[in-house]
A and B are shown apart, each in its own frame.
Chain A
Amino acid sequence: MTDTALQPVPRVSGRSTLGLLLRTPTFLIGLTITLFWALCAAFWAYVVPYDPLQDDVISALLPPDAAHWFGTDQLGRDVFSRVIAGSRDILTVAPLATLLGTFCGTAIGLVAGYNRGWVDEVISRIIEAFLALPLIIVALIALVALGPSTLTVIVVIGISFTPIIARTVRAAVIQERELDYVLTAQLRLEGPLHIMFVEILPNIVPPILVESTVRLGYAIFAVATLSFLGFGIQPPSPDWGLSVATNYGMIGGGFWWTVLFDALAIATLVVGVNLLADGTGAALRD
C-alpha cells in the first residue's frame, strides 16, 4: 500500500459515517426492505410453502385463502411462493449490471479526469452523446439484435450505466488531482496507472458508492421493465415483471391477485433501494 504519511486526512471516518447512517430513518427503512428481499433471494427455497414452478391445474386461479395466502395463478401455481422466489433473478441481474457499469465507468472516468487534454475531450463528447440515448430504446434494439438472455440484459444495462458513472468519477478525479498527495506521487515518479488506481481511486470511493447505489435502483427499474416487455428474464422464472406480463391481460376478469402482489413486490424493492441510496448520499455528502 502507499506511504501512510502521505495519505490525505480522511474527511469522514468510517465509524462516524456508519453511525450517521444508522441514525438516518430513510436509510434504515431502505436497508430493512432491501435486506428482506435479499434474504428471500438467497433462501427462498427454505421458505416457500409450494414449489413456485409446479403446475396444479385443478386449483387454478383460486383467490387468496388460508392454503394459498396470495391465491394461485392460471396454471395453479402458488402466487405467494412465486413472489418470494421471484426476488432471485432480479436481485442477481440488477447488481451484476450495476457492478459492470461501475467497473467500466470508474476506469473510463479515471482515465478521462486524470489525463485531461484531448483524451478527456474525446471521452467526454462520447459520454454526452451516449447519455442522451434513451435506455429502453437502446436495450430494445440490442436485445432484438442479440436475442433476449440474462447475459444480454446485464451487458446492455451495464454499458448504458457506464457513461453516467464515468461522468461522476471524472468530476471527482478532477477535484482530487489538484491535491498535494497526487503531486507528491508525481514527484516520486509514480506511473500514471499507479497514481490513478492506487492513489486517487481509494479517495473517491464515497461518490462512486453513492452513484452505484442510485444506479442499482435504476437497474432494478430497467430489469423489471425489460422483463415485463418480454426482453428480460425469460420463462419459466417466477420473476415479478414476467408474472405481471403473463397475467395482466386477465385483470379485467377480476383476478387481481395474479398481478397485484408481484407489482407490490417490485414497488417495495425499488423504493427500498432508493431510500438506501438517498440515505447513503445524504450521509456521505455532509
Chain B
Amino acid sequence: MAALTLFLLSVLVFFGGQVLPGDIGRALLGPFADARAVEALNRELGVDQPLLSQYLNWIGGLLRGDLGMSYAFRSPVAPFVTQALGKSLKLAALAFVLVVPLAILAGIVAALREGRPADRIITTVGLSFSVMPEFVSGIVLILVFGIWLRWLPIAATWPEGAGALTQVRHLLLPAMPLFLVLFGYIARMARAGTIEALGADYTRTAVLKGLPWRAVIWRHVLRNALLPTITVVATQSGYLIGGLVVVETLFRYQGIGSLIYTAAKAKDFPMLQAGVLVVGGVFILATLLADILATLLNPRLRRGQSA
C-alpha cells in the first residue's frame, strides 16, 4: 500500500517534471549559449535520453542513494536535502511535542463534558483552527506576538551557534500555525475515542465493580481513546508536508518545504524530485511507526498477529 503510494508519487514527480521544458540545457545556459555547450550539458545531465530510461536511471540512482544533480546549483542534490530535512524535522518535532499532549487533553476534557459549553467551545474553536490556512494564522501571529507585543523573534533562522533554547524561541512562532491546524484534528479524534470508550461495556463493568472514577478514566478509558489518536497523528505527517511548504516560505526558514517550493519555482527538477520523494519516505516511515505503536498498545491486535 505504502509502496504503491511512493511509486505513484515518483511517477508523478518525474513525469510532471518532464512536461514543460523542451531543452533543459538551453533553459539553464540561456538563449545566447553555444549550441555545442547546450548539447554537452544535456548529455552530462542525461536529459537527451528517452524518458523511460531516464526514469529507470533515476530510480536506480535513488536505490543506490544517489539523488541526482541539481540543475540550479550544478552540484549533487543530497547535501541540500539532508540539511533541509534536518531543519524541517526540528520544526515539525517542536509542533508535535506541543500539540500532541495539549490536543489529547483538550479532546478528553471535551468528551468528559460532552454537549456542555466547554465541549462546544473546544470543538468549534478546534474546528475553526484546523481549517485555517497556515499563512493566515501565521500573519496574525507575527503581527500580534512578533511586532506588537515583541515577545518572539519573527525570523525563524537563529544566529550561528545558538543554544537549543534560542533555537526553540525562534521556532516557536513558525510552529504555531502547524500547531493550530493539528490541534483541531487530534482533539477531535481524542474526543471521539474517549466518548466511545466511555460508553463501552468494559467501562461500565469497571464502574460497577467499584473502581474509583479516576482509575476508570486512567486505566480503561484513556488507553482505548488513544489508539485512534495515534493513527491520526501519523497520517497528519502527510498534511504537515504541505503545511511546511507554506510556513517555511512565510518565515523564510530553509527547510524541506522551502526547498521544494524554491525548486518548483526555479524548475530545478532533480531537487524537486528528491525533496518530494524524501518527504514521501518520511511519511511512510511515520505510518509504519504508528502501526507498530498501535499494535503495542492494543492487546487484541497483538494477539491477532501472533496467532
Contacts and interface: CB of A to CB of B under 8 A. Distances in A.
Interface of A: 26, 125, 128-130, 132-138, 140-147, 217-218, 221, 224-225, 228-231, 241, 244-245, 248, 251-252, 254, 256, 259-260, 263-264, 266-267, 270-271, 274-275, 278
Contacts of B137: 267
Given A141-B16, A147-B20, A263-B139, A228 B246 contact: yes
B135 A241 contact: yes
Interface stretch (B3-11, B30-38, B52-60, B158-166): B3-11
Contacts of B135: 224-225, 228, 241, 244-245, 248, 263
A252 B250 CA distance: 13
Given A141-B16, A145-B20, A224-B136, A217 B131 contact: yes
Given A132-B283, A266-B133, 10 more contacts: A129-B4, A132-B238, A141-B276, A221-B132, A225-B133, A225-B134, A229-B249, A245-B135, A259-B143, A275-B124
A187 B4 CA distance: 40
B142 A129 contact: no
B147 A256 contact: yes
B272 A141 contact: yes
B16 A142 contact: yes
B19 interface: yes
Contacts of B1: 128-129
B260 interface: yes
A275 B130 CA distance: 12
B40 interface: no
Contact of A140 (B18, B142, B147, B245): B245
A260 B148 CA distance: 13
Contacts of B128: 270-271, 274-275
Contacts of B4: 125, 129
Nearest to A256: B143
A274 B127 contact: yes
Contacts of B250: 248
A268 B33 CA distance: 51
Contact of A137 (B19, B139, B143, B279): B279
Contacts of A129: 1, 4-5, 8
Contacts of B5: 128-129, 132-133
A229 B261 contact: yes
B132 A267 contact: yes
A163 to B, nearest CB: 12
B221 interface: no
A146 B267 CA distance: 12
Interface of B: 1-2, 4-5, 8-9, 12-13, 16-20, 124, 127-128, 131-137, 139-140, 142-143, 147, 154, 238-239, 241-243, 245-246, 249-250, 260-261, 264-265, 267, 272, 276, 279, 283
19 contacts: A128-B5, A132-B2, A136-B241, A138-B12, A141-B17, A144-B264, A145-B16, A145-B17, A145-B19, A225-B133, A241-B133, A248-B135, A252-B154, A260-B143, A263-B135, A266-B136, A271-B128, A271-B131, A278-B127
B279 to A, nearest CB: 7
Looking at A125, A147, A274, the one whose CB has the most chain B CB atoms below 10 A away is A274
Contacts of A230: 265
B196 to A, nearest CB: 16
A97 B143 CA distance: 32
Nearest to B124: A26
Given A248-B250, A256-B147, A134 B8 contact: no
A133 B12 contact: yes
B242 A136 contact: yes
Contacts of A264: 140
A144 B19 CA distance: 9
CB-CB nearest 5 A-B residue pairs: A136-B242, A145-B19, A141-B16, A132-B5, A145-B16
Contacts of A266: 133, 136
A26 B13 CA distance: 41
A259 B250 CA distance: 13
A251 B139 contact: yes
B145 to A, nearest CB: 12
B9 A133 contact: yes
B238 A224 contact: no
Contacts of A231: 264
Contacts of B279: 134, 137
Nearest to A131: B5
A252 B147 contact: yes
A245 B19 CA distance: 27
Nearest to B2: A132
Contact of A136 (B127, B246, B272): B246
A135 B242 contact: yes
B241 A225 contact: no
A266 B134 CA distance: 11
B144 to A, nearest CB: 10
Contact of A270 (B132, B140, B261, B276): B132
Given A125-B4, A244-B135, A263-B140, A144 B245 contact: no
A165 to B, nearest CB: 17
Q: Which of B131, B137, B154, B260 has the most CB of A within 10 A?
A: B131
Contacts of B241: 134, 136-137
